[in-house]
Amino acid sequence: MRVIVEVSFVPLGVGLSLSPYVAECLRIIKASGLKHELHSMGTNLEGNWEEVMALVKACQDRLFEMGAPRVTTSIKVSARADREPSMEDKVAHVRRLLEDGAPGKP
């Protein structure tokens, strides 16, 4: 099953600066070859369920290796039974509605 996942990793007990940990996770994500998009509060991933969840585990494991005594991971999953989801399609649909000035379906 193809999914879109928003994931956010928060290593705890490592001080105030989390950027080095975020950067390390992003290196792992880039190396995976999965479609991804970094944003201010996390990262969107697109791929099949098994690949995405294995990637989440790899990032968590790396944060522990870097010395984080605890990691909080937030995950939101978008899955569809009628078609394969795409990050671009979700955004494009909202932009079309905004450009057309048409209200969306309730």
| Inside any domain, residue 73 | yes
Q: Is the residue at 8 inside a domain?
A: yes
pTM, two decimal places: 0.85
pLDDT of residue 104: 61
Place 105 in a pLDDT band, splitting at 50, 70 and 90: low
CB atoms closer than 10 angstroms to residue 1 = 12
Find where tokens 């099953």 sit. 1
Look at residues 33, 44, 48, 41 and name the one whose alpha carbon lies nearest to residue 5: 44
Chain mean position to CA 87: 11
How many domains does the chain contain in total?
A: 1
**CATH code for position 91:** 3.30.70.930
Residue 106: inside a domain, yes or no? Answer: no
| pLDDT tens digits along 35-82 | 999 999 999 999 999 999 999 999 999 999 999 999 999 999 999 999
Residue 96 lies in a domain: yes
Residue 40's domain comprises: 2-100
> Is residue 106 predicted with pLDDT exceeding 80?
no
9 located within any domain? yes
Residue 105 lies in a domain: no
